[in-house]
Structure 1
Amino acid sequence: MRVLITGSAGFIGYHLGRHLLAEGHAVIGLDGFSDYYDVGLKRARHAELATHPAFEPVEGRLESPGLLRDLLAQARPDIVVHLAAQAGVRYSLENPQAYADSNLIGSFNLLEAVRAHPVRHLLLASTSSAYGGNTTLPFRETDRAVSPLTFYAASKLAMEAMAHSYSHLFAIPTTAFRFFTVYGPWGRPDMALFLFTRKILAGEPIEVFAGGAAERDFTYIDDLVDAIRRLADVPPPSPGGGGPVGAFDTLSTSAPYRLVNIGGGRPVRLDAMIDALERALGARAERILKPLPPGDVARTEASTALLQALVGRVPETPIEVGIPAFVAWYRRYYGV
């Protein structure tokens, strides 16, 4: 296949690109190298991918008029995986414009490009934050998601809705997936695991929200990439072309569109994650307890029934395996 990945220098885009290249596919990787976090880390990821002859790097931003349409016209991908976005829950309180530009305008530009140059399957990255104020656990894809707590979550919900409309109007097979706290080697420096590792090694205290009682459905990067790759082979059928796989399916009745959680359904307390990190580092953390910030939720937990039915497996790597793997990469990359 020829696969276009937007956000290919990002954490997930890099790992997905590496996985696809190892399978023998051609990968076109688009990234704008925004300075939201260390651009050097992003360029190092892209440099790793560029060692493969089947990788074609493209630098540009989603918001640039005509860029995506021209890229699809030239590259003619079979599949598009849209991972590029302005990420981060808390940063959306400081700079909401970045989310409007990337997540709304950028995603619209991609939909228009796919409308002009159809693909076999369009896959879009959303977020568990879309469940917002939903207090029913686990989070099921069939739950109404109408109470986003941050503009980041609202922008992702809007992207899902826009994608459904394009799927309906132009028969674009589309799968949107909601990620649950992804972590692992080459991770994002703004995420808790990365921040805690840096501070513990530097002898600095860490801020622990909700007294360590907050729970997250941690998803190891290799499990996530495996799920995306498997979902790529399962485009939603057009209305009348196939029925739902169960009562839990989100297959649209008016479009070849589906929404899928990617998470393991096994929440872990934040203090347990820190305990595992301390063991992997061989160092103790000084913990400063803080209340839960605005826009954060106390617990996330993915319903896994739909993912299991579609691809036959769900994320299962425990933090006792995933966190040491992250620490080993961090020590190699930063020489500490």
Structure 2
Amino acid sequence: MTEWVPTFDYPASEEWLLLDVNLPDGAERVAQQVADRGGRHNKRYARGVRELMKHNWDGSSELRVGPVVVYVPPVPSNALPLSPASVNALREVPDHDRTLETVVRHAREAAAEAEADPTRRREITTVELPAGPACRIHDAPVPNPGHEGEPARWEMLYHLLLTEECPKEILVLDATWVSGAVPGMAELADRMAATLRFVPGDSGQGPHPVLASPQAPIVFDEVQIGKGLRPLAQHGFVTIDRDEDVLTLLDSNRRPIDSAPLAKVEASKRGITGGMTVSLALNGTKYSVSPGWGARRPAPIPGLGNPVKDAADTLMRLIEHGGGSTR
């Protein structure tokens, strides 16, 4: 008798990592891939990712969860979880009729019960996936124009798939992410869902990183930005577009301050802050930036170094790698 196991494809980028919840060292393997990106700061980053993976996913295989892929951005966020997005398959045996109409009805009943929450909206539709019909449920926060220090809000997209291979089960693809943390995440989750399927357990057709996806920008958050003695942002952002090699400064509400090609950026460390501030010259204007300062803790986390200084060092390295001037 064939043993059927779920699988799906995921993006072919270094940010999306396969977490094998069936292996005792699955979290360590993900952490090693983060560490292999290079630099002593990534080793500290990797230790934090390893602990997060263990906390979030230990015991998942017993709950019939898997495969799991997680998103780990190029640099750690100071305002978001170290892994702000994940996608996983989940096998469920429903306690109701296994028909698309019944699945949709139950989803709408649950949505009606949640209508009391004015901060969220839920959209329920039906879609035809290559492996069979599915109920698509998008649970998202109601847009709320940014306020400084607003907490992260989670977004979820579920595909409840009915397949012929396992007629008593519902195969769920659960995509969960911090809203806005991964550009185009809803569309990407739909593309992953289009590859969701059951395969024979001995077929070797496990998850494959084959989906094309644009390079997400590198984002430093909680950045204190100033020009001379004038503060411009306490919870600002520095982004690097990896396709265009452009560095951009954004204020606390993500409004542009200035931008320039990396190759034309001049950067230097300011020793007076212990290496936690970078002086940037963009288009002839000098700015001081301290990535992570807006979320600065009273003392560095033991074993994880100083996250503000680490982020400043990483920013300097990326500018140098992009052809900018550093000293």
Q: TM-score normalised by the shorter chain: which range applies?
A: under 0.3
Higher strand share: 2
Q: Larger radius of gyration, structure 1 or 2?
A: 2
Higher helix share: 1
TM-score of the superposed pair, with normalisation by structure 1: 0.25
